[in-house]
Structure 1
Amino acid sequence: MPTTRTTAHRAAVLGSPIAHSLSPVLHRAAYAELGLTHWSYDRFEVTETGLPAFLAGLDPSWAGLSLTMPLKRAVLPLLDTVSPTASSVEAVNTVVIDGDGRRTGDNTDIPGILAALRERGVTTVESAAVLGAGATASSALAALSRICTGPVTAYVRGPARAAEMREWGTRLGVDVRIADWSEAAGALGAPLVIATTPAGATDALAPHVPDRPGTLFDVLYDPWPTPLATAWSVRGGPVVGGLDLLVHQAVLQVELMTGRAPAPLAVMRAAGEHALGTRRA
C-alpha cells in the first residue's frame, strides 16, 4: 500500500462510456473529508484500443486508476503485477501506481460485494442465483465462493455464456448450475439473488417476485430503483443496490491509492446519493 503523498497527485476513472460515472463524486468527497487537498480525481473516455497509449502517457503525479467496462480485462497485459483477488476472475477495476511507476492491478468489486451484503446482515447463504454473465457475474461468483455453502444457479442467454459461467465456477470452486434466461423468474425464490444485467433486462421479472423474497442485490444504480428492486421492496425483501457496491468498492480504492484508512464510507455514500438525486430532479 502506498504511503500518504504530500505533493499533488492524480487519480481518475477510465472507461467507455464514462460520462455517467459517479466515481469522481465519491473519491473527491473522500479526499475532502480526509484533508487531501493536493489530490485530484477525474474521468476519461478511454476504449480498449486507446488504453495502452493512455497508460504510457501517465506522468509521475499519477497514483491510481479506477477501471470500468470495457477495460477490466483489457488492462491485464499492461500491468506489472496483479493481486490474487483480481487474478481469480481475470478482472481489474483498480490500478495502483507507485512512486517508481509500477502498476499493480487489484479488484475491489469482490470485497465490495461482500461488504455491501454484510452491511445488510448477509454473511452466509445456503444457495444463490446469479442473473447474467460477464465480468460482474464472475466477481459475484468469487464473492459467493466465500459465503455460499451450496449451489449457485446462473441464468444466462446462449451456450457461450453458459460455458463461461461453468468455467468460472470450476476455477472459483463454486457449484454452478446453468439455467436458460427464459426460466429467470425461477431465480427469484433463491435466498440471495444477484442481478448483474444491464438496465431493463430484469424489468419483466418484477411481477414474479415471491411473497416472501430473500435478499436481492441489483448492481445497477442509475436508473434506481429498478422495477425489480421496487417490487422486491414492496414484498418486504431486503435490497442491496448498485450504489452500495459502488461506495464499498470505492472506499477500498481510496485506501489503496492514498494509503489513508479508513476511508469515510458515510460521507462517500451521502455524496453519491446527493449526486443521483440531482440527476433525477
Structure 2
Amino acid sequence: MLTDRTRLAVWGDPIAHSRSPRLHAAAYEVLGLDWHYGRERVDEAGFPAALSGLDAEWRGLSLTMPLKHVAARSAVSLDDDARRTGAVNTYLLDADGPRGYNTDVGGLARALDEFGVRAPGVIRVLGAGATATSAVVAAARAGAGVVEVRARRVEAAASLRALGPELGIDVRVRALADAASDGEPVDATIAALPGGTDLGPLAEALASTSGPLVDVVYGGWPTPLAQAWDRAGRPAHDGLTMLLHQALLQVRVFVGGDPSLPVDREDAVLAAMRTALMGD
C-alpha cells in the first residue's frame, strides 16, 4: 500500500542541474499533498545499495542518466514503454518492489503535439542510443508511419530497426554522414544526440529537408543544431517541453499508479508546473 508514503526524489549523476524538484513541488502544492521531493546524486555502481536503503516512507523515484537501464533491470514490472526501450525513468515503490515506467516516451509525444507535429508521415531521429529508442517509440505514438534513423554507425541502430514491426511502422536506418547526398523531406526531426553536438555542414543539409526540430537537450541553448534550423528559417524547440510533460506523467504515476490516468485539476497542475519550469 502507498497510502502513508510521502517521500520522492530524483536520482542521477550529475544531478545538481535537475529541475524535477521544482516541477514536482508545484504539482503537489496544487493537489494539496504534503509530499517531499528531493534530489540525490546516485551513480550506477551505488544504485543497488541506495535502492535497498529506502524505507516505507518512500513513494517513488524519478531516474535520470546513468540509471535508466539499471533501473529497468531492477524493476519487478515494466510498463510497455519501459519494456520496449529497456529504459526506466520512474519507479513506483510498494511492498512488492519497484514498478518501472518510461514517461520520456509519452512526454516527447505530448511535446510533439504541442509543437503542432500531428499525424506526421515521416519523422527523423538523430542518434542511436537510449534516448533515440524512446524517440522512435514517441514518433510512432505521434502517428508517424515512417521513422528515419540517422546514426553515425548504421550497425548501432539495429535494435531501433527491430522495433518497427512491434510498433507497426517502417524504421529506416541511414548513415548520418550521407545526409548531404540522400536527404529526403521529413515532417519533423528529433535530435537525440549529446548536448552541444556540432554536425557542421551536415546540420545544414538536415535542416533543409525537415520540418521543426525537437532537440531533447535544454542546456546551452541554442544548440548548434538549433542554429542550423534557424538559419534555414525553420522552428527549433529545446527539451523543456518534453521535460514538463514527462514530469506530469510521473505525477500521474505517483498519485494514481497509471501514466494514462489524469490527476484531479490536471490543467491547473500542468500550468503550475510550466510556470515553475519557465521561472528562471
| TM-score category, normalised to shorter length | 0.7 to 0.9
Structure 2 CA distance for partners of 1:137 and 1:106, relative to 1, 3 Å: same
Quote the offset at 1:167 in angstroms. Answer: 2.6
Quote the offset at 1:232 in angstroms. Answer: 2.5
CA distance in structure 1 between the partners assigned to 2:178 and 2:199 by the alignment: 14
CA contact (8 A) 1:75 1:92 kept: yes
CA distance in structure 2 between the partners assigned to 1:137 and 1:41 by the alignment: 28
CA distance in structure 2 between the partners assigned to 1:213 and 1:78 by the alignment: 39
Which residue is equivalent to 1:239? 236
Quote the offset at 1:207 in angstroms. Answer: 4.0
| Pairing 1:17–2:17 present | no
| Pairing 1:154–2:154 present | no
CA distance in structure 1 between the partners assigned to 2:223 and 2:134 by the alignment: 21
Question: What letter matches 1:77 in structure 2?
Answer: R
Question: What letter matches 2:194 in structure 1?
Answer: P
| Pairing 1:82–2:82 present | no
Which residue is equivalent to 2:38? 42
Aligned length: 270
Which residue is equivalent to 2:56? 60
CA contact (8 A) 1:81 1:105 kept: yes
Question: What letter matches 1:265 in structure 2?
Answer: L
Structure 2 CA distance for partners of 1:159 and 1:189, relative to 1, 3 Å: closer
Which residue is equivalent to 1:279? none
1:146-185 residue pairs with structure 2 within 5 A? 146-184=141-179
Q: Deviations over 1:179-203 (max 9, x none)?
A: 2121345658421100000112145
Question: What letter matches 2:124 in structure 1?
Answer: A
CA distance in structure 1 between the partners assigned to 2:46 and 2:183 by the alignment: 39
1:1-281 residue pairs with structure 2 within 5 A? 5=3, 9-36=6-33, 38-98=34-94, 100=95, 102-184=97-179, 189-202=185-198, 204=200, 205-208=202-205, 210=207, 213-233=210-230, 235-259=232-256, 260-261=263-264, 262=266, 264-275=269-280
CA contact (8 A) 2:154 2:173 kept: no
CA distance in structure 1 between the partners assigned to 2:220 and 2:86 by the alignment: 28
CA distance in structure 1 between the partners assigned to 2:154 and 2:230 by the alignment: 33
CA distance in structure 2 between the partners assigned to 1:212 and 1:177 by the alignment: 16
CA contact (8 A) 1:189 1:210 kept: no
Question: What letter matches 1:199 in structure 2?
Answer: G
CA contact (8 A) 1:213 1:235 kept: no
Quote the offset at 1:166 in angstroms. Answer: 2.1
CA contact (8 A) 1:188 1:208 kept: no
Question: Given the two structures, how large is their TM-score scaled by the length of structure 1?
Answer: 0.86
CA distance in structure 1 between the partners assigned to 2:176 and 2:79 by the alignment: 33
Same amino acid, percent of matched pairs: 44
Quote the offset at 1:76 in angstroms. Answer: 2.1
**Other structure's SS at 1:49 match:** coil
CA distance in structure 2 between the partners assigned to 1:210 and 1:195 by the alignment: 11
Worse-superposed segment, 164-173 or 72-81:
164-173
CA distance in structure 2 between the partners assigned to 1:9 and 1:187 by the alignment: 51
- Runs of 5+ unmatched residues, structure 2: 257-262
Structure 2 CA distance for partners of 1:187 and 1:21, relative to 1, 3 Å: farther
Worse-superposed segment, 54-63 or 213-222:
213-222
Measured on the aligned residues, the alpha-carbon RMSD in Å equals: 2.4
CA distance in structure 1 between the partners assigned to 2:46 and 2:99 by the alignment: 19
**Other structure's SS at 1:118 match:** helix
**Other structure's SS at 1:264 match:** helix
- Runs of 5+ unmatched residues, structure 1: 276-281
**Other structure's SS at 1:75 match:** helix
